[in-house]
Structure 1
Amino acid sequence: MANALEREDYLSDFLKCPICLETFKKPKCLPCLHTFCEACLQVYIDSDNSSEATDSEDSKSKVEASSDQSGIRCPTCRKFIQIGAEVAKCTWLQGLPDNFFINSLIDKQLIQTQSKTCDPCASNGKKELAQTWCANCSEALCQECLNYHQKFKALRNHSFLDLNSVKTQEKATSLSGFIPCADHSSSSAQVFCRDHHVACCTLCATVRHRTCSEILTLEEASKNVKYDKTTLDLQKQLNDMIDSIQIRISQRKDCLVNLKLSKETMENKTTGLINDAIKNLETLKTSFQNQMENKVEVLSANFDHEICKLKNLLSRVMHQKHILSVSVSQGSNEECIVERESILRIKEEIRVESDEIPPNSEFGTFRFTVDHNLQKLTSKITAFRNISLSQGTCRMKNGQIKLLRKEKLCTGLCSAVFSQNDILISWYNEKQVLIVDFSLNLKSSVSLNGNPRDITVDDLGRVFVSLPDQSEVVEIDMITKSVKKLFSTVVKCYGILWMNNKFMITSGDKIESYRHDGIKQKEIKTNDTWHMCCKQNEETLLYPKADTVIENSQLTNEKSLLGQPGAGLRGIDTDVEGNIYTVGMRSNKLYQLSPDGSLLQEANFDELFNLKSLWKVCLKVKKNIVVTTCDGDVALFEIVCTCKS
């Protein structure tokens, strides 16, 4: 009985608008998957126009605008939702998709908690007990109205549910009878494309998914979806993300406490010394305290910012878990698979944002040393020693590179890319892709019909390989280890990169962009270019061209950053700070550049690690680097940061 009451309370909370705290009325779903009443969202947007909110910080956080874009922040997770300067906010709001899942649950809850009156009879002033629910019309019908309803040819094929069975049945049933197409919200989704993991209408299936290999009816695709491995794994992953973020919030709260305690301890020490000193040391005390307060203010602001961001991420993950739990417990199979696939996409966005924040932080205490002259209290004293932080993990600027493991996994040329907890190696000579762990131990391999030259991974973890001898791009299913051809390229596809929902292909003297269905969009000329990468969160391409690192925005504006004549620049990648890494095949060096192209440091890998003919460099967030060579060597490194006082 207690569990039933808990489920009822849980569902009631799920059906309440976070703004008005009442049951949803015309629920609208934002791209971040948070749902609000349409009227509440309208008031939330309009509040920016009030004179009281115009100059407030709260107003600026709600609605933001610039010369080329405008939007709002989600009231729950604070994620920025772009609208576009040319679109009126009221028009944009009306175009948001209705949350049919919420509507279905509200109708179902109403039916299960009270007797339902026939809707057509009620409109005529009569009160007749309803026995049937029409899913297409979203109306309750008595037996007489049901008979009339079924006499009309246009209404004869509607879907009807017995209200008594809805009240008592354990199996979840959709009352809306409508699941919208992912691209046409006014059309009903009837099929599911497993290639793109999306529910769509028959028009989309005919036009946009005509080349896809696995198109199923929505009912067939959603069979047993609540208990399949993907759903269960997603529930576990969301729980793990919640635990991880909560731990990191707790760490930063501890750091704040330690920071304040350390500050108090230092003040007590300095106060004791100053009380024993002569009068002119009071000036030094004031100077010292100001210096310390400034450092504490800066560090506290940083921790507060990270805690706020982590709390927002936690809120988003818990909301996705909430949606999934309700989908599994209350939604139909069709609703569950649609919600699950939406959450998978949002989960990847949250993971990327979470990875941008350091996984742990050990700052929070000061290291304090006293000038020996201060203890002697001589007139030569002019200042205390500098304040510095105790050593911890810091963001890399000029960190050292530590070799973790080096193995000769291939013969000849090979490339690498990080994929979740594995490293994928393309073995050109043997027509294979190797899957190794972070100790460079072989886990498995995938055979190909051509020689793989380069490899890339998209935002959802899908793996794509270039086969220049076949002029093809193929996709590898990492679960089944099967290979599927995606499309053919105009040129020999040597380097490959997934960037902002399109493929970038380089053939040495050209860079071409392709849509996911293989339609070529654009090309530019280059020289001696074999690898590419993109700047963090930007549509800007980076690549070596004739031993010069090039920054190219929208494939139109080339900008030279730094040249290394004779180096034979090949692989290139960036870290989360925007620093650029590239390797020289002839110089055998790894070069680290700042985001604006200034050379920060270079390391001779031949002298340090006996690695020659460097070919590909790939970074995982900001801690690990993989470097491959033309001779089949694969080396895994760790960036060891140093903090200077």
Structure 2
Amino acid sequence: MAEAHVDNRSFKCLICLHECNTPRQLPCFHTFCTGCLDTYINSEYVTEDNRTYFPCPVCESPCYRHDKNAPVSSWAGSFPRNQLFASSTFKETESGQTFCHGCLTDDEENVASFWCKACSEALCQPCRVAHRRSKLLSTHKVIAIDEVSKTDIRMPVSIVNTCPRHTGKTIEVYCHNHNALCCVLCVTLSHRMCTQVSSLEDTTMMFSLDLIECELGKMKDESKTIVEEDENKLTTLEDDYQKMTSNMAMMIKKAKDKMGDLHQRFQTGLDVTYRRHRESLHERLRTNRIFQANIENTNQLMRVVKEKNPVVDIFIVTEQSKTQLLSHVRRLQQKTGDKHNTFELKIRYDDVLEKVNNVMTTVGRLEVSSSLSSSSQDSLTSIRQIIDTLHTTSSVTSFSESTSSSDMLSDVGHVAVPSSSIAPRIDVWTGSLSLVKSVHKGSIGGLVTPWLTGGVFIEGEGLLATDYNNKKLLLFDDSYEYLRHYDMDNSPIDITRGFEPNQLLMTQTNGSIIRCTFRDGVLTTVDSIRSYPSQWGIDTLGDNVLIGTDYSVKISTSDFKQVSSIPNLSYSTYVAASTRGLLCHRDEDVIVCRSRDGTEVFRHMCKGIKQPRGIVVDQDGNVYVCGMKSGDIHLISHDGFKDRILLPRMSGITQPFAVVLHPTRQEIIVTSRRENVAFEVYKFCDQ
């Protein structure tokens, strides 16, 4: 353990973003408040195949409990206290008294009364007694804490210099090829092919703390610029939301008021028309009822006269009735002859109202235009350049290990081909691609035209590609020169790294997945797992296997027990895992990004792309996609907000099928769908 003093400055928890209270450090070096971590673990822990773990809240690295029988509620407190963080959050009582440093280590707050000059620690009375009784500490000079200056009351910090990968081993070596702190086992197992390895003593002779502090200061300023820019944009977005809500409400109110006014005017006209025609019908009806009553009276009169009077009287009454009826008929004709008795009310709606009811489906179309501000883009570019500068110095890993090596660098186990020199990275959004090499089918051999449907880089070996047509695996060296082939029983489709060193997983046309090892040029088949019919792409995400089939993406455990199935509308589905813990796949001509549980993160349609096939994700989360029918290569940002056509056309390929990224050299390998050129290699360069 190495000791150092830390100034009285506070660190922030990466969950609550407030001062880190009782900081706990995970194996990936991210640190959180004990309370925040406990709440997170209880809500996010996962149990799979009798294993229980939780993903780191920042990098999603799986974190396992130390005691398999410990309840979930105790996990947070079982992770080691981050003394670097804890020492910086200097604690005092409200009256300004100092807490005992020894008690703070166990999360207890007891007022200190003494100060050990040798240990530079504040001690309470019980700790003072224990300190005096220790044979090793009994000779230390202990004084009253009132005699010590406040500036001297700083707890010494123990910096862990043990290897995080190999228990009990001390970090002694630095690999310049991978910017990695190593123990002797790391060098033996993972860096045996590296050419630039030196002891920490030799490396620290080139250590420049001033340079690191300068670069970190620049990075802090740039990150502050980005945060301030995002805060301003968030305020602007909230203002836009409030304005849009108010404006739409006002517009709807105006529309309602206008419709209400038009409704009232129409109703008034309808009322007038209705009353006029109703009165006309009432008058006609009364006239007809009077005539009807007169007829009935005449009939009744004739029956009465007929029964009791002579014929002469009957004749007289009949003639009188005829004269009376004739007069009534004339009046009836005059009053009702030209008056209508049928009034059918109809309405012909205004064309605009018809559209509102039948055509209109929205009161307005919400349009969102998004972009990355130039200031934020400049800051991101500056941060990337600062990281590249730090990579070129010997102290970059000291910095990255103290924050999080999983954030700054690719894991050593995933770096396939070591580079002898570290070149500045080209921004893939501004750089251009230049053709490095075309590999013709004649240089490979085979009975039929090769069709390379997948590939993977292997450390110290080169590129291993799947030849679907000839049922072979093809090995190419670091310069993409053909070395040899390996015969397969069935046509291989896609290939990826497994979960063990030197392990590979490969899909085949017979619905099986081959688990094999590749070491020193020797391919050894371990076993064959029956999986899914019509399977295509394969990749690993954490401890899960991603398998692309016709019309779905299957997620399985490392021993191929299905966890979930995500349906889509595509056959020949390729899948790719992201270092951000996400997965990408095609859904017809759309690229979909999801979290591990299948939740959709974004859905992006590249302009002009037709029948996407090969898909891969770089270390920044950017997605590269082959458009087989459109003959191009597209790039999609990690958040799905923007895209770019990297290669609108290629030199000798018209139907690109698979795309593979070189792990260190910013080179893209694009294979063809049974063409004379088997694959082409393109490299990023400045415009």
Query: The TM-score by the shorter chain falls in which range?
Result: 0.3 to 0.5
| Higher Rg | 2
When normalised by structure 1's length, the TM-score is: 0.47
When normalised by structure 2's length, the TM-score is: 0.45
